[in-house]
């Protein structure tokens, strides 16, 4: 867990397309099923005591998909925010969308701002949803804004959070989960995952479930995190 007890889990929710294709359905059906899984995992995460949950919903590189798929993904995200904000409010979950906003449809930006405003006082869990997110872009943009000498890592992180529209205190990632069987980061939270424990599962995102989350948390509980030091008992 992070120093301040802010347990931060990040998830690369991959495998929606394959889930649909295996059933002879269009890829968009996989995204619809994936959105249902988001709701379940958000609730399970709050119950499990996770303080910050960051979900990779749409990467900057996902703009390169066929436009009907991009459109359906963005529409789905807007629907998700419209339908889940009240539920988050009830569960004291603070919504925060990280990533660029200048390329998103105006309706989606309005929905983001509305969800963030309505849930700004919620304290049980931060739910960060990454949309039009690219870690490399964020780091470059923060570096461009930094442009003065002698900037500390802490101040750089503040700039990075500002670039990302991230609320304060999200902190480094403790556990990064990727579903769908691939073992890569796909430009997600490169700075924040410097000491994250990585967990990869073959489960496709729509099949992940609360059991999948608990399997990942159990695995994490058995890890030895050394942060470059030696463990006390072996020193």
Helix (H, G, I), strand (E, B) or coil at 66: coil
Q: Which is nearer to Mg ion, 49 or 181 (CB)?
A: 181
Q: Which is nearer to Mg ion, 61 or 110 (CB)?
A: 61
The alpha carbon of residue 128 and the mean position of all alpha carbons in its chain are separated, in whole angstroms, by 6
DSSP string, 93-132: EEEEEES--TTS-HHHHHHHHHHHHHTTT--SEEEEEEEE
Total number of residues that touch ligand IPE (CB under 6 A): 17
Map residues 10-49 to x or -, x wherever contact with Mg ion holds by CB under 5 A: ----x-----------------------------------
CB under 8 Å, gap of 24 or more: what pairs does 42-48 form? Answer: 42/84, 42/88, 42/93, 42/127, 43/91, 44/210, 44/213, 44/214, 45/9, 45/125, 45/213, 46/91, 46/93, 46/124, 46/125, 48/213, 48/214, 48/217
Could you say which of 62, 96, 174, 192 is catalytic? Answer: 62
166 binds, among Mg ion, ligand IPE, none (CB under 5 to 8 A by kind): none
Q: Which is nearer to ligand IPE, 32 or 146 (CB)?
A: 32
13 binds, among ligand IPE, Mg ion, none (CB under 5 to 8 A by kind): ligand IPE
Question: Tokens in use for 211?
Answer: 């059991």
Phi, psi of 94 (to 5 degrees): -90, 120
Q: Which is nearer to ligand IPE, 11 or 88 (CB)?
A: 11
> Which residues ranging from 10 to 39 are in contact with ligand IPE (CB under 6 A)?
12-18
Nearest to 30 by CA among 82, 54, 61, 65: 65
184 binds, among ligand IPE, Mg ion, none (CB under 5 to 8 A by kind): ligand IPE
Map residues 62-101 to x or -, x wherever contact with ligand IPE holds by CB under 6 A: x----------x----------------------------
Q: How far is the CB of 162 from ligand IPE (least distance, A)?
A: 22
Q: Which is nearer to Mg ion, 7 or 188 (CB)?
A: 188
Beta bridge partners of 54: 10, 128
7 binds, among ligand IPE, Mg ion, none (CB under 5 to 8 A by kind): none
For the question of residue 6 being annotated catalytic, the response is: no
Return the H-helix or E-strand segment holding 33: helix 27-47
Binding residues for ligand IPE (CB under 6 A): 12-18, 56-59, 62, 73, 180, 182, 184, 186
Active site residues: 14, 62
């Amino acid at each position: 867990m992070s120093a301040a007890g802010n347990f931060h889990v990040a998830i690369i929710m991959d495998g929606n397309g394959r889930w649909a294709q295996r059933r002879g359905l269009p890829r968009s059906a996989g995204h619809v099923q994936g959105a249902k899984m988001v709701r379940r995992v958000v609730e399970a995460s709050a119950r499990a005591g996770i303080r910050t949950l960051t979900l990779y919903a749409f990467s900057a590189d996902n703009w390169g998909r066929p436009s009907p798929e991009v459109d359906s993904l963005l529409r789905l995200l807007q629907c998700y925010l419209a339908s889940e904000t009240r539920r988050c409010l009830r569960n004291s979950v603070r919504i925060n969308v990280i990533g660029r906003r200048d390329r998103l449809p105006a309706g989606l930006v309005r929905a983001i701002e509305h969800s963030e405003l309505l849930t700004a006082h919620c304290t049980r869990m931060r739910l960060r949803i990454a949309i039009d997110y690219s870690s490399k872009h964020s780091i470059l943009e923060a570096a461009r804004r930094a442009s003065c000498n002698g900037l500390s890592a802490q101040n750089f992180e503040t700039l990075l959070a500002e670039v990302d529209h991230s609320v304060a205190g999200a902190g480094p990632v403790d556990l990064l989960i990727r579903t769908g069987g691939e073992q890569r980061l796909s430009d997600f939270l490169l700075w924040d995952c410097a000491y994250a424990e990585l967990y990869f599962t073959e489960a496709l995102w729509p099949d992940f479930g609360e059991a999948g989350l608990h399997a990942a948390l159990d695995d994490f509980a058995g890890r030895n995190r050394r942060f470059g030091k030696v463990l006390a008992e072996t020193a």
